[in-house]
Amino acid sequence: MKIERKYLAHFINAAQSGQEADYERLGKDLEEYSPELSAQVDTKKNILGETSVLISGYEKTAAVEPYYAVAGSALFERLQKIIDENQVLDQLKADVVEVKLWEQEAEGKFPAIREEVYIEVTSYGGDTTGYQIPFTLHYTGNKVCGSFDVKQRTFSQG
């Protein structure tokens, strides 16, 4: 059975550092959201003609484009603050939860993986369709497995 794309959900924590998590689902205006793994691959060929391949890690990123600003949205406020204050370093830290909605639900929760990211606002403004703030998420690889309550929008570790 093929899994429809809508069953792989991505929630971003739009809260500022030190605040209680405030998860918003990505996807309203997105036709595609595909984290790119960008593997670090080293291939070597020896004198016997054999090739060895070493994959030593990943530099995972995901572009969120377009993102249309919505007044009152926690994510919009977070992105606008990044722009207004020229935020850098840990001010850009957030987390994304990938939720597997096709899996068996248990007490309103679905299997999920939370991963730390850094938000890079790539531009802002846009055309006549609305105020746009496209951004790229840079994943750090710090993952935690757990479950996500879609209605309460809360992540539980373990």
- Is residue 113 included in any domain, yes or no? yes
- At 105 the pLDDT is 85
Per-residue pLDDT at 16: 84
Distance between CA atoms of 21 and 80, rounded to whole angstroms?
18
User: Is 135 part of a structural domain of the chain?
Assistant: yes
Q: What is the pLDDT of residue 157?
A: 94
Whether the pTM exceeds 0.95: the reply is no
| 54 within some domain | no
**Domains of the chain: total:** 1
Which CATH number covers residue 148? 2.30.110
Query: Residue 108's pLDDT is what?
Result: 87
Integer CA distances (angstroms), 34 to 3, 26, 76, in order: 15, 11, 21
* 58 inside domain: no
Q: Is residue 106 part of a domain?
A: yes
In a domain, 46, yes or no: no
* Cis, bond preceding 66 (omega within 30 deg of 0): yes
Q: Which two tokens stand for residue 18?
A: 């030190």
Walking along the chain (158 residues) 10 residues at a time, the average pLDDT comes out as 95 90 94 93 94 93 96 96 96 97 91 98 96 97 96 94
- How far is C-alpha 96 from the geometric centre of its chain's CA atoms? 5
89 domain residue, yes or no: yes
Instruction: With respect to residue 41, please indicate whether it lies within any of the assigned structural domains.
Output: no
Domain boundaries, position 25: 5-31+64-157
Q: Measured between alpha carbons, how far is 147 from 36 in angstroms, rounded to an integer?
A: 23
CA 24 to chain centre: 11
List for the chain the helix, strand, coil content (%; round to 5).
10, 45, 40
| In the block, residue with structure tokens 């926690």 | 74
